């Protein structure tokens, strides 16, 4: 791989472009090759035995390691400022396999109440089948986290900013609390990404991320990533990935590594659009409320100012006539696409209560702030005036 330590001292644009590579070029190539192979040959029986014994670093089988996947892992390690990373087939593979690595029957998790719907369902319904308890709290208040911690709490799982309420949790305060209570702090960094927020630098133990979103940025491939702060945590999670098989495919890894190189450019453009659209929407007569961390009236604006390098391109808002008004809005957009997912170059709009978070019981959704009227907007890289005009037209359709 490239000179990791030298790159660590360079800027974020440089890291995104040059992070990840091969120790030895095959033909002097600039782009990392796609090593589309399931298995690797051994030059001798002794070398094969040495690799299985961990005495040689050579490759064995792509479920265990692959040069293309390793290049992506090195790039993400560099951007997140961690010890090492593990690439996975999806973001949910990153979340669930990480939790599997540390939770046993009788253990307990404290989690953000408005986390991504699938993450909450996994904890609330699936891990519960194996005797793992979970308490969901508004983690924007560190006091709420502290009150929920019990003697058997092994993991604190934060998502910040949250999907879809845009609440912001104080990572540094949560990390201090986790250390004091002997828990592992896991942070889902999908909404911000390493260009805007690096939880490991703020004291978190593990970062999980959906690479499908901002890292890849083109809405055309799935992937996930786990980055740890030390070797011990990495080894424990890597063992779970090896056994449960959530490994990323080499072609997936190559596409995401390709998208990663333009991450700063895309984030800056989308973030600029989002800040301008947030100010436009906040003043619109058809918009009843709006949550965007970059606005001074966001409840955790000061926390976001401290721990983020920018406020990103995600927002949520409500419109007049509640759910019916939101449906009218989403059906009336012509440039923005009505679709789930986020973080791509194209702007997407969706209704979490009936889509991404529909499986969560309604009372629990509303307690977490995911009301029926909430509309989630992922702002892309189109021209601002075109996005503004599209929303202006759609809002005008609301009675």
Looking at the fold, whether 13 and 149 belong to one and the same domain comes out as yes
Mean pLDDT score of the chain: 95
In a 10 Å sphere around its CB, with 0-12 CB exposed, 13-18 middle and 19+ buried, how is residue 201 labelled? middle
Asked if 221 and 243 count as a contact pair (C-beta separation under 8 A), the reply is no
The residue ranking higher by pLDDT, 311 or 22, is: 311
pLDDT tens sequence across 152-175: 999 999 999 999 999 999 999 999
Phi, psi of 378 (to 5 degrees): -105, 110
Looking at the fold, whether 173 and 306 belong to one and the same domain comes out as no
Asked if the structure places residue 66 within a domain, the reply is yes
Q: What is the per-residue pLDDT for 317?
A: 97
Identify the domain containing residue 278 by its residue range.
Answer: 263-396
Is the pLDDT score of 306 beyond 80?
Answer: yes
- Which residues are bridge partners to 247 per DSSP? 88
Strands (E), the chain: 84-88, 108-112, 133-137, 153-159, 184-188, 206-210, 224-228, 287-291, 314-319, 337-338, 348-350, 375-378
Task: Indicate which CATH number applies to the domain containing 366.
Answer: 3.90.1150.10
Q: What percentage of residues in the chain have a pLDDT greater than 90?
A: 88
Is the pLDDT score of 385 beyond 70?
Answer: yes
Last residue of a domain, one of 241, 260, 279: 260
| Chain center to CA of 159 | 8
Asked if 248 and 72 count as a contact pair (C-beta separation under 8 A), the reply is yes
Looking at the fold, whether 343 and 251 belong to one and the same domain comes out as no
Looking at the fold, whether 170 and 279 belong to one and the same domain comes out as no
Looking at the fold, whether 316 and 390 belong to one and the same domain comes out as yes
Asked if the structure places residue 231 within a domain, the reply is yes
Distances (CA, A) of 377 to 60, 316, 333: 43, 6, 12
Looking at the fold, whether 128 and 183 belong to one and the same domain comes out as yes
- CB-based contacts of 377: which residues, under 8 Å, 6+ apart? 277, 314, 315, 316, 317, 336, 347, 348, 349
pTM of the predicted model over 0.85? yes
pLDDT tens sequence across 75-96: 999 999 999 999 999 999 999 9
Asked if the structure places residue 78 within a domain, the reply is yes
Determine the average pLDDT of the residues in 259-275: 98
Confidence of residue 364 (pLDDT cuts 50, 70, 90): confident
Asked if 269 and 381 count as a contact pair (C-beta separation under 8 A), the reply is yes
Asked if the structure places residue 1 within a domain, the reply is no
Asked if the structure places residue 313 within a domain, the reply is yes
Is the pLDDT score of 15 beyond 50?
Answer: yes
Asked if the structure places residue 4 within a domain, the reply is no
Q: What is the per-residue pLDDT for 365?
A: 85
Q: What is the per-residue pLDDT for 61?
A: 96
Q: What is the per-residue pLDDT for 38?
A: 97
Is the pLDDT score of 1 beyond 50?
Answer: no
State the pairing for strand pair 108-112/224-228.
unpaired
Looking at the fold, whether 82 and 111 belong to one and the same domain comes out as yes
Confidence of residue 24 (pLDDT cuts 50, 70, 90): confident
Last residue of a domain, one of 260, 291, 325: 260
- Spatial separation of the C-alpha atoms in residues 101 and 89, rounded to whole Å: 17
Q: Coil, helix or strand for 206?
A: strand
Determine the average pLDDT of the residues in 387-392: 98
Q: What is the per-residue pLDDT for 360?
A: 83
Is the pLDDT score of 4 beyond 80?
Answer: no
Looking at the fold, whether 108 and 213 belong to one and the same domain comes out as yes
Angle between helices 250-260 and 67-80 (to 10 degrees): 40
State the pairing for strand pair 314-319/375-378.
antiparallel
Asked if 311 and 292 count as a contact pair (C-beta separation under 8 A), the reply is yes
Q: What is the per-residue pLDDT for 187?
A: 98
Task: Indicate which CATH number applies to the domain containing 216.
Answer: 3.40.640.10
Asked if the structure places residue 75 within a domain, the reply is yes
Confidence of residue 353 (pLDDT cuts 50, 70, 90): confident
Looking at the fold, whether 193 and 319 belong to one and the same domain comes out as no
3-state secondary structure 261-290: CCHHHHHHHHHHHHHHHHHHHHCCCCEEEE
Looking at the fold, whether 143 and 287 belong to one and the same domain comes out as no
Determine the average pLDDT of the residues in 199-225: 98
Determine the average pLDDT of the residues in 242-247: 96
Q: What percentage of residues in the chain have a pLDDT greater than 70?
A: 99
Q: What is the per-residue pLDDT for 23?
A: 76
Question: Taking phi first (over 0 means left), then psi (-120 to 50 degrees means alpha), and beta for anything else, what does residue 193 get?
Answer: left
Active-site amino acid positions: 63, 116, 188, 213
Looking at the fold, whether 281 and 182 belong to one and the same domain comes out as no
DSSP-assigned states of every residue in 122-167: IIIIIGGGGT-EEEEE-TTSHHHHHHH--TTEEEEEEESS-TTT--
Asked if the structure places residue 3 within a domain, the reply is no
The residue ranking higher by pLDDT, 117 or 353, is: 117
Last residue of a domain, one of 231, 260, 289: 260
Q: What is the per-residue pLDDT for 242?
A: 95
Looking at the fold, whether 388 and 300 belong to one and the same domain comes out as yes
The total of structural domains in the chain comes to: 2
Confidence of residue 372 (pLDDT cuts 50, 70, 90): confident
Residue at token pair 């990480």: 98
pLDDT tens sequence across 169-184: 999 999 999 999 999 9
């Amino acid at each position: 791989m490239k000179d990791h330590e030298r790159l660590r001292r360079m800027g974020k644009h440089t890291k995104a472009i040059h992070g990840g590579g091969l120790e030895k070029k095959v033909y002097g190539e600039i782009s990392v090759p796609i090593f589309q192979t399931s298995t690797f040959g051994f030059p001798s029986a002794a070398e094969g035995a040495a690799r299985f014994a961990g005495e040689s670093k050579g490759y064995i089988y792509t479920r265990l390691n692959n040069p293309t996947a390793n290049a992506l892992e090195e790039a993400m390690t560099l951007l997140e400022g961690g010890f090492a990373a593990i690439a996975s087939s999806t973001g949910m593979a990153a979340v669930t396999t990480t939790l599997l690595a540390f939770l046993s029957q009788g253990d307990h998790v404290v989690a953000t109440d408005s986390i991504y719907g699938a993450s909450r369902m996994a904890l609330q319904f699936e891990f519960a089948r194996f005797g793992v308890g979970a308490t969901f709290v508004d983690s924007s208040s560190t006091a709420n986290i502290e009150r929920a911690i019990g003697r058997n709490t092994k993991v604190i799982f934060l998502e910040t900013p949250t999907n879809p309420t845009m609440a912001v949790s104080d990572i540094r305060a949560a990390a201090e609390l986790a250390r004091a209570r002997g828990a592992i702090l896991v942070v889902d960094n999908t909404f911000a990404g390493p260009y805007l927020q690096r939880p490991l630098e703020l004291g978190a133990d593990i970062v999980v991320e959906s690479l499908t979103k901002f890292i890849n940025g083109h809405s055309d491939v799935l992937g996930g990533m786990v980055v740890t702060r030390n070797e011990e945590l990495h080894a424990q999670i890597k063992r779970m990935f090896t056994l449960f098989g959530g490994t990323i495919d080499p072609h997936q890894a190559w596409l995401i590594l390709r998208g990663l190189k333009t991450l700063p450019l895309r984030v800056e453009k989308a973030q600029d659009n989002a800040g301008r659209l947030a100010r436009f929407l906040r003043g619109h007569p058809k918009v009843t409320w709006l949550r965007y961390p970059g606005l001074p009236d966001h409840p955790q604006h000061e926390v976001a100012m401290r721990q983020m390098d920018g406020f990103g391109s995600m927002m949520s808002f409500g419109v007049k006539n509640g759910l019916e008004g939101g449906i009218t809005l989403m059906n009336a957009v012509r440039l923005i696409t009505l679709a789930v997912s986020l973080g791509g170059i194209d702007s997407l709009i969706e209704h979490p209560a009936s889509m991404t978070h529909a499986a969560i019981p309604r009372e629990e959704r509303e307690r977490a702030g995911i009301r029926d009227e909430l509309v989630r907007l992922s702002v892309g890289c189109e021209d601002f005036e075109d996005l503004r005009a599209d929303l202006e037209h759609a809002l005008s359709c609301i009675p």
